[in-house]
Amino acid sequence: MHNHIFQGETMKINLNEIIDPTEGHITVSVDTKGHRHARFDLQGLPRVESLLVGKSAAEALKMTERLCGLCPVAHHLAGTRALDGLVGVRVKSYAEMVRRLLHYGSMIEAHSLRFIAVDREAGITLKQFSKQMLTGAGSPGHFPDTATPGGIQVEPKLEDLQVVADGLETACAAAQRVAVALQNQGRGTQVQTEMPFADVALIDDSGYPDVFGTRVRIAHNGEVLEDFDFSQWPEKIAEEIPGSPAPRPYIVTLGKKMGRYRVGPVAQLSVGKVSTPRAASLQAQWLSAPPDAALARAIISLHVLELSGEIVSQLMKTSENYHLDEQASTTKQWQAGISTGLVDGPRGILAHTYEVNAEGIITRAVILTPTAQNEPWLAALLTAATTGDTDETRREAALEQSIREADPCLPISSAPPGQMGLKLDIVNES
State how far the alpha carbon of 322 is from the alpha carbons of 92, 156, 164, in Å. 9, 10, 19
* CA separation, residue 219 to residues 121, 222, 269, 289 (Å): 36, 6, 11, 17
- Residue 409 marked in a binding site: yes
CA distance 328 to 4: 28
DSSP assigned state of 368: E
- Is 71 assigned a ligand-binding role in the annotation? yes
Element (H, E) at 395: helix 392-406
Residue 367 annotated as binding site: yes
> What letter represents residue 213's amino acid?
G
CA distances from 213 to 137, 205, 290, 389 (A): 18, 8, 26, 41
Closest by CA position to 265, among listed 298, 238, 290, 234: 298
- Supply φ then ψ for residue 203, to 5 degrees: -135, 165
Residue 37, CA distances (Å) to 5, 28, 384, 425, 428 in order: 35, 5, 9, 11, 11
By the 8 A CB rule, do 156 and 98 touch? yes
Q: For strand 422-428 and strand 362-368, is the pairing parallel, antiparallel, or unpaired?
A: unpaired
Say whether 49 counts as a known binding-site residue.
yes
CA distance 57 to 35: 48
Residues comprising the binding site for Fe cation? 71
Residues comprising the binding site for Mg(2+)? 49, 367
Residues comprising the binding site? 49, 68, 71, 367, 409
Residues comprising the binding site for Ni(2+)? 68, 71, 409
